Structure 1
């Protein structure tokens, strides 16, 4: 039987030490953790937050809080946490900003409350909200509850008492959970009850410290930390939150990397900058030449390729693209050592040709001699039942000159001698019956752009650009 994977929860405690400690304790007692204590690892981090003593007044600046939370979330990700808990309602006003930049998901406290409220009261009910001036002004509860419930807040005087009960010198944050602070919160709750609230929602995590006292007084106040703890233990609590990142092994070669990125952008349906795919690029032109290794036993690029992919994985890539056909001769060696998939460009290219052109005509391959020697295209073509043709020795020499020659594409040329050489090799393949040509070196589309129909040797043939196929596949993964 498969055992569930370990689950590491990081709790940010520095935005309210007592409330953070309360959440930590309730996590330890939560049903999920108690039922499978060997699976859960809890990490509590309480670094000092400089502006902690400042009350969350209306219009308060969130800049230092945002940077503090981001820094701690990144530290949790680096230490192996797979989920972060953020017991601070003010910080949940900017949770979408955090998620767009983080490599680790943050459990949404408002989603936890939504689920709890839905289980307790019917749509249309009146909910009383006990929160700070800042959170109230930011409309956090309106965004999550106003569509289905009516919200009421304490009156002016009672809202001021609530703020003092939490942030004042004799308030809950200062460790006073009884006496004046409790009475002030009680008055605010009575205000909400008088307005017809059937359920009281705390928008300050410190209120969880006195939620049991309020319930003993007959006030139905939700314990937000308890709800958050139980929600975090659910297997689907953070599903679908992490933004998709495409990792790109760049520099193999440099111009092909830029071309690939441009094709990702061109193939992404977007109406604004923010609709495009996040890309993490490791531009590493020092990766040893793949063809030189395969043909002449020169420096092995395996370690460099693996290290580059591993860095992309550590940067939060969900999938890795290598815009270099020859490099795919090494993919099988390194894929098993990675946690994220490398999108296999030759396999995706052959699958594209099978879908678009069928299996009724031979396919010609224009590629480096290293790619031909690795047989990465031969293997996937054979598995798909497609016949693959390659140039003879003389024609292949012209392909290599078009790529590596003094006036080749790797030297920055896209016309003249390199184009003539490439067309000559293409004509050889067409003469042997190829109806589709694979531009199987990522620099070749810079010389002969992809086209559905191209006249070569007196015959119309299709040119297929694996870089474009790879870009479209990566866009599909991101949109999915």
Structure 2
């Protein structure tokens, strides 16, 4: 059986974290049955660590501390994390959203325990801090099934002093005044009709045994949480889809591609959009210069960019550069996540929308044309691909690279005229469909099924639009990611 590691976040209540850690060590044979054999307790000082959790307190420092420790555990590949702090469970969902490691829910553990103890409709007496009480945490988990009662204001003050006072539990006192105060508040809640007392401080577990001896049944939440961990079947959380983009090839095309992803995403609010991580590196050597003039090879730079995206948690990579796809075959075997091949998607889109046997004109850099990467994909799909004659290919290159071209920041005027002239030339050569096969060209002309040129009407296909739609389908789960073969 795989040996699993359980991380425990300390520092939120030193005695409580140590208590849970000790319980896990003592129950190691039972915990091992679920695969957990190694335990890591991480504890650091942080601002306001020992402050009383009153209504006006800020949890920001606590929240950042919890997230940083969780990140540390994730980097050490723990299989699950314990968060022994009720106040931190008020923002547990925020932390879990950013983690792929399960952050075990102490409130769920308590909920299961209570369901075994009392019937729905029973009254629960809640002993927790001012802050947690105000947050509505217990209402979230128990309000629909049980009636909740809290201490009256003067008794709540006694409870807070029991935990945070000079002679309170956080100061290491588990007898004397702290025990008397806990007993007083428990009896107060029982007098209000509580059928079961429910702890909302992990520190109260240190008093539970003493209270039991005095006839007060206060469940030990640390023990309950530790037992919950023993029976937890650890598995990685399903990570939300994150797209990696190799940017800077070129810079304007990268921004255009991201806009297309946003435009194609069915979103009602910001949170509905796709997680994206971009490696914006305009210093990646020019792909066309390498292929045509044997200049600097961009393969290593492209692989390095993809590796950084992989390390950042991307589940698939998009490269909004047609010419760069001449190097994809070399770098894909060195990656564990797939590069979504824009060229394959474009040809598949043409076949799906327009059928096989069509003559398709390719408007692209000389490097893309020389590499024959589009031609190979088109031939395999039964698509006849043609490129402009040299004179008109130069017009395409000028529209992209010249001082009046799109890479120089122009999107109208001479560069657009040159592109339209190349389209007209291909249309005269029987092309019915045109691929805007350089990612800057859609900045001049947009995708359309009816582009008039002379006395003809042709379709313009934007590969980055096709790629953006593919990325959205992968993110929404309507299509599955094809993992690269080993």
TM-score (norm 2): 0.84
1:364 is aligned to 2:347: no
For 1:146, the equivalent position in structure 2 comes to 143
Alpha-carbon distance change, 461 to 334 in structure 1, aligned in 2, over 3 angstroms: same
Deviation readout 1:279-317 (Å, 9 max, x if unpaired): 332221001112222333322222222222232333333
1:34 Cα deviation after fit:
0.3
Cα contact 1:172–1:181 (8 A) shared by 2:
yes
1:34 is aligned to 2:7: no
SS of corresponding position for 1:60: coil
Deviation readout 1:19-58 (Å, 9 max, x if unpaired): 2223334455468850365x76543211112322211112
Root-mean-square deviation (CA), in Å? 3.3
Cα contact 1:99–1:243 (8 A) shared by 2:
no
Q: For 1:167, which of 164, 179, 191 is the aligned residue?
A: 164
TM-score (norm 1): 0.85
Q: For 2:56, which of 38, 56, 59 is the aligned residue?
A: 59
For 2:225, the equivalent position in structure 1 comes to 227
SS of corresponding position for 2:57: coil
Cα contact 2:366–2:393 (8 A) shared by 1:
yes
SS of corresponding position for 2:246: strand
1:202 is aligned to 2:199: yes
Map 1:84-95 → 2, pairs under 5 A: 84-95=81-92
Q: For 1:189, which of 183, 186, 191 is the aligned residue?
A: 186
Give structure 1 stretches of 5+ with no counterpart: none
Greater CA radius of gyration, 1 or 2?
2
1:175 Cα deviation after fit:
2.5
Deviation readout 1:313-332 (Å, 9 max, x if unpaired): 33333433221122223334
Alignment length (residue pairs): 475
Q: For 2:47, which of 46, 50, 60 is the aligned residue?
A: 50
Cα contact 2:101–2:237 (8 A) shared by 1:
no
For 2:484, the equivalent position in structure 1 comes to none
Alpha-carbon distance change, 94 to 364 in structure 1, aligned in 2, over 3 angstroms: same
Cα contact 1:202–1:221 (8 A) shared by 2:
yes
| CA–CA distance in structure 1, aligned partners of residues 232 and 377 of structure 2 | 41
Map 1:6-405 → 2, pairs under 5 A: 8-28=5-25, 29=27, 33-35=31-33, 41-81=38-78, 83-99=80-96, 106-117=103-114, 123-211=120-208, 214=211, 217=215, 219=217, 221=219, 223-224=221-222, 226-227=224-225, 230-231=228-229, 234-235=232-233, 239-240=237-238, 242-405=239-402
| CA–CA distance in structure 1, aligned partners of residues 383 and 123 of structure 2 | 66
Q: For 1:458, which of 455, 462, 483 is the aligned residue?
A: 455
| CA–CA distance in structure 1, aligned partners of residues 33 and 233 of structure 2 | 13
Alpha-carbon distance change, 465 to 148 in structure 1, aligned in 2, over 3 angstroms: farther
| CA–CA distance in structure 1, aligned partners of residues 366 and 309 of structure 2 | 28
Cα contact 1:23–1:229 (8 A) shared by 2:
no
| CA–CA distance in structure 1, aligned partners of residues 136 and 288 of structure 2 | 59
The farther-off stretch of 107-116 and 303-312 is 107-116
SS of corresponding position for 2:451: strand
Cα contact 1:113–1:228 (8 A) shared by 2:
no
| CA–CA distance in structure 2, aligned partners of residues 461 and 183 of structure 1 | 87
Cα contact 1:30–1:230 (8 A) shared by 2:
no
